[in-house]
A and B are shown apart, each in its own frame.
Chain A
Amino acid sequence: MAEKSVGIIAERDGFIATKGKNKKQLQCDTDSSAGCVSQRACVYCGARVVLNPITDAIHLVHGPIGCASYTWDIRGSLSSGAELYRNSFSTDLKEQDVIFGGAKKLTAAIDGLMEKYQAKLIFVYSTCIVGVIGDDLESICKAASQKHNIEVIPVESSGFIGNKSAGYRAAAESLLRLIKPDEDVVITKTNSINYLGDFNLAGEAWIIHNYLRQMGIDINVTFTGDSHYEALKLAPKAKLNIIQCAGSMLYLAGKMEELYQIPYLQISFLGIEDTAASLRKIAVAMGDDHALCKAEALIQKETARVETIIKSYREKLKGKKAAIYVGGGFKAISLIKQFREIGIDVVMIGTQTGRQEEYETITNLVDDGTVILDDANPAELERFMMEKGAHLLVGGVKERPLAYKLGMAFIDHNHDRKHPLSGFEGAVNFAEEVYTTICSPVWKSLSTGGIGKGVEARG
C-alpha cells in the first residue's frame, strides 16, 4: 500500500478555515502555490467556457494544438440552432511560427475558414505562446474583419496572465466589443431582460426561459447559453440584466449598467427556495405587478408539484453529509441551501475562484465545524472529506474519480452534468441524482477487508 500523503504546506494554511474554530479571514483570489496539484484552470479556459456557447461563431484558437483539442465540444451547452461552435478550430502553431511569428498563419487560417463557413462572428483566442511571441491580435483581427466584412474579435486569454477569473474578464471584454452598437444605431429599449451567466448546460437556460415566458417577461438574449450573433448584438436593448453565474458575469453586468443603463440583479435558480425568490425579485425589479401575480401562481403550482417528490427524497437522505468543491462561490452558496432542502448538511465546502464576500456568505450559512477552503488540492479534499465523514462530493471532472476511489458518492455540477439542475425541475433532478448516487447498491460491493472478509457500505 502506498504511503499516504496528506501533508498541508504551511503556505496553504490561510486558505483553509473551520467555522466556529478560528475567526480568521479566509485568503482567496490569489495565485496558487508553485508545485501544487491544483484543481484550477487557466485564463484561456475561463474565457473559452464563457464564450463557447455562442453557437454560430467560429471559435479559433491561436496557438499550438493542445488548447483547441482539450476544449473541443466539452462544454455540454446545448443549441437550438447552429452547431458551428461544436467544431474545433486551431492555427496549430509549429516551431517555425514560434520563431517567425504566427500572424501570417492566423490571417491565412481566418481566410481559409471564411471559405468554408458562412460565419458572421469569429473569436480569436490568444494562448500562452501568443502572449510571449507577441503577435498583434488586435490589428490582425481588425484587418480580417474589414476584409471579410464580419466581426473578428480577439480574446486576450494567454494562460499565464492569471487564473480562470481573468479569463472571465477577458471574455467579458470581448462580449462588450461584440454588443457595442454601431455609431449610427440608436438603441430602443424594450421591456425585456438579458439573462447572464447561464450556459444552457443540459438545457438549463430553456427551463428559465419557459418560466419567464409564463410570467409574460421577454428574454432579450442569454449570455451565453444557446445565443447567437444577431441576438447578442441587440443586448443593449434590455431593461434589466439578471445574473446566475456571478463569477463570470458580474464585471460584464457592471459595464452594461455603466454603458447602457441596464441595472442588474443577482438571482439563482438552484433549489426551490432560490428559484421562487428569484422569480419574485425579477417581477418586482421589472415593476410589473401582473408578472408578480403570474410568478406567484407559477411558484405555487410548481412548488406543489415538486414538494412531495422532494419530501420523499428528504426522508431517504436525512442525516447524510455533503462536501462541495466547485468553480465559483455563488454556486457554492446556492448548493448549501439546496442541500438543506433535501435534508443534507454540508460539512466541507471549497471553490476554485470564490471571492472574499462570497466566502463570508458561506461562513454565515454553514454550521459550526464545517471546513471552508479555497483552491484546494486533492490531498486536502481527501483529508477533510474523510475527517468530516462526507457521504457525497459535488464537483467537476477531476474530482469524480477521487470521490469514487474513497467509496464516496458523487454528482457533477459542472460541464459533465447530464440533467438540468436549474429551477423546479432541476431541484427534482438534483434530489434524484443525489439519491441515485448515495443510495446506489454499487457501494455495497466495496469490500474493505479483502474478499469475503466483511463488506461495508458507506452509503
Chain B
Amino acid sequence: MLDCTPKEIKERSSGGNINPAKTCQPIGAMYAALGIHKCLPHSHGSQGCCSYHRMHLTRHFRDPIMASTSCFTEGSSVFGGGANLKASIQNVFHIYKPDVMAIHTTCLTETIGDDVSSIIKTAEVAEGKLVIHANTPSYVGSHITGFSNMTKAMVSYISESTASVKKEQINIVPGFVNPGDMREIKRLTKSMDIDYIMFPDTSGVVDSPMTGEFNMYAEGGTTVAQIKDAGNSKLSIALGRFASSDAVDLLHKKCKVSASVLKTPIGIKATDAFLMVLRQSFTKEIPRELEVERGQLVDIMTDTHFHFHGKKVAIFGDPDIVTGLTEFLLSLGMVPVHVLTGTPGGSSNSIAGSFEDDINNMLEGTGISANVKSAGDLFTLHQWIKNEPVDLLIGNTYGKYIARAEDVPFIRVGFPVLDRSVHSYLPIVGYRGALRLIEMISNALLDRADRDASDEDFELVM
C-alpha cells in the first residue's frame, strides 16, 4: 500500500518536510546557467550535489547535462575551498573549453564561508573567457530562488549600458520553464516583429537534436554579447515574479532599463497581458496570425467549457507556474480548491506581496474557498485532498503517488517530470500552450469518464 498519509490533519510544528514540493537552489542555478551559450555550470561543493543535479535534469530533459564540480574533500571543508575552486577554474578551461564558467555555491561552501567573488578575482582566466558566480545556499528558498540568483548574476557580471540611447529591443527573462515554452515566447515576440534578447534561454541546449555526435556545448543558449547588450534595451519583461523579477530589477538599477513584471503567460489572460505590453511599448499591431490563434483558443474553450465547469482541482508546483495555471483554470470555470507551492518566500502578510496573496486575490469574488499555501509539502496536499477530494490533480511527477492513492486523474505539468517524455519540447505558455493544456485536461477527465462509465452510460460523442 503506497498510501502512507493519514487523513487526520494535526498541527505540524516540527518544520520538517515530508514529500517535498521543492528542491534546493543549486539545481536552479545550474539550469539557468545552461541557458548561456557555451557555458559550463560549476558546482562549488561536494561531488554528490553536482551528480544529483545532473541526474535530475537529465531525467527531466532526457538530454546530456554537463556540469563540473569542485570535488570537495574533508581537507577543503576544513581549510576552505579556495584551492579547489582555483584548480577547478584552471581545469575547466583547459579540458572543457567553455566560453563561460558559471559557478554556484552549495550549502557546504556557504556554511564554511568561501568568498567566491574574491577567489574568482585572483584566479587566472584567459582573455575572452568569463567566470561568473551566484550564491545559492540550499538552506534558503528553493530551486526557483537558485534560478533567480543565477539569472541575476548574469546581469551583474555581464550586462552593460553602453549605448547613449536605449535600443528598440526587449529583454525577456522567461523564468524556470521548459525550452518548449522559451521557444513559444520567442515565437510570439518574433511574430510581433520585435527584436528581443531572451536570457537565460535553454532551447537548443537541453532539447538539442540528435546528430550522431556529442557536443559538450549545444548550439542554443544566450550569447555573452547578447546578455551584455541587454543593458541597452529599452524594456525588460520578467515572466514570473519568483524566478525572474530580481534580474530585471537589477537591470533597471544597473543599466536604467525599464522593467515590467508579468505572470508566466499561461492561459488566455496572461498571454493577452504579455502581448499588450509588447504592443504598447513598441507601438506594434498584433498580427493576424496571433489573432487567429487567440480566436481558435476561445473557440475551443467554448466548445469544451461544459467538461470543465465546476470541476475541483488541486494544483502544486513552482509558484510562477501555479499562479498562471490557477488563473487559466478559473477562466475555464474550474474550481481550484487546493493550491500549493513548496517554494517559500512571500507567505501572507510579507511586504513584497506573496504567492498566497496572489492566489487569494484571484479567488476573491469567485466564491471559492481554497486551501492556499507556500512553503508546503505534498504530505499536506495529500491530507487536504483526503479531506476534500478533487476531480483533477495538476503538478510534477511526484503527484503520481497521490493520484494513485486517491484515484484522481492527474496531468503532469512543471518540474520535474521524470516519468513521461516529450513534455519539455512542447509549450504550456501562449495561446498554443493553452490549447495544449486544454487537451491534456480534457483527455484526463474524459478518459476517466470513459473508464468509469457503466455500459449504458458509455458514449461515443463527448
Contacts and interface: CB of A to CB of B under 8 A. Distances in A.
Contacts of A87: 4, 18-19
B352 interface: no
B46 A160 contact: yes
B307 to A, nearest CB: 33
A405 B15 CA distance: 43
Given A87-B19, A88-B19, A7 B55 contact: no
Interface size band for B: 35 or more
B213 interface: yes
Interface string B91-117: 110111100000000111001100000
Nearest to B98: A5
Interface string A69-85: 11110000000000110
Interface in B57-84: 58-59, 62-74, 76-77, 83-84
A327 B380 CA distance: 37
A41 B212 contact: no
A304 interface: no
Given A33-B71, A65-B24, A160-B108, A4 B215 contact: yes
A112 B10 CA distance: 10
B96 A37 contact: yes
Q: Which of A97, A162, A401, A407 has the most CB of B within 10 A?
A: A401
Contacts of A8: 95
A116 B108 CA distance: 31
Interface stretch (A126-134, A201-209, A211-219, A267-275): A126-134
A265 interface: no
B451 interface: no
Contacts of A195: none
B186 interface: no
A89 B14 CA distance: 12
A7 B139 contact: no
A315 interface: no
Contact of A36 (B20, B46, B68, B401): B68
Contacts of A162: 73-74
A109 to B, nearest CB: 4
B79 to A, nearest CB: 12
Contact of B1 (A32, A83, A402): A83
Q: Which of B24, B48, B51, B63 has the most CB of A within 10 A?
A: B48
A63 interface: yes
Interface stretch (A42-50, A249-257, A284-292, A339-347): A42-50
A286 to B, nearest CB: 36
A452 interface: no
Q: Which of B10, B106, B219 has the most CB of A within 10 A?
A: B106
Q: Which of A34, A38, A68 has the most CB of B within 10 A?
A: A34
B26 to A, nearest CB: 7
Contacts of B19: 72, 87-88
Contacts of A97: 139
Contact of B74 (A36, A38, A160, A379): A160
Contacts of A113: 16, 18
A89 B215 contact: no
B23 A69 contact: yes
A90 B16 contact: yes
A89 B18 CA distance: 5
A97 B107 CA distance: 12
Contacts of A72: 19-20, 398
B58 A44 contact: no
B90 interface: yes
Interface in A89-132: 89-95, 97-98, 105, 108-109, 111-113, 115-117, 127-129, 131-132
A2 B84 contact: no
B69 A398 contact: no
B81 to A, nearest CB: 9
B51 A39 contact: yes
A183 interface: no
A69 B24 contact: yes
A454 B106 CA distance: 47
B216 interface: yes
A9 B23 contact: no
B319 interface: no
A34 to B, nearest CB: 4
Nearest to A8: B95
A348 to B, nearest CB: 15
B69 A36 contact: yes
16 contacts: A2-B215, A7-B94, A9-B91, A35-B69, A35-B71, A35-B92, A38-B71, A70-B56, A87-B18, A95-B139, A98-B107, A128-B46, A132-B108, A132-B112, A161-B73, A379-B216
Interface of A: 1-5, 7-9, 11, 31-45, 60, 63-72, 83-84, 86-95, 97-98, 105, 108-109, 111-113, 115-117, 127-129, 131-133, 159-163, 377-379, 382, 397-398, 400-402, 404-407, 446, 448, 456, 458
Given A65-B24, A405-B208, 11 more contacts: A37-B69, A43-B48, A63-B107, A65-B23, A65-B142, A69-B24, A70-B23, A83-B1, A160-B45, A160-B73, A398-B64
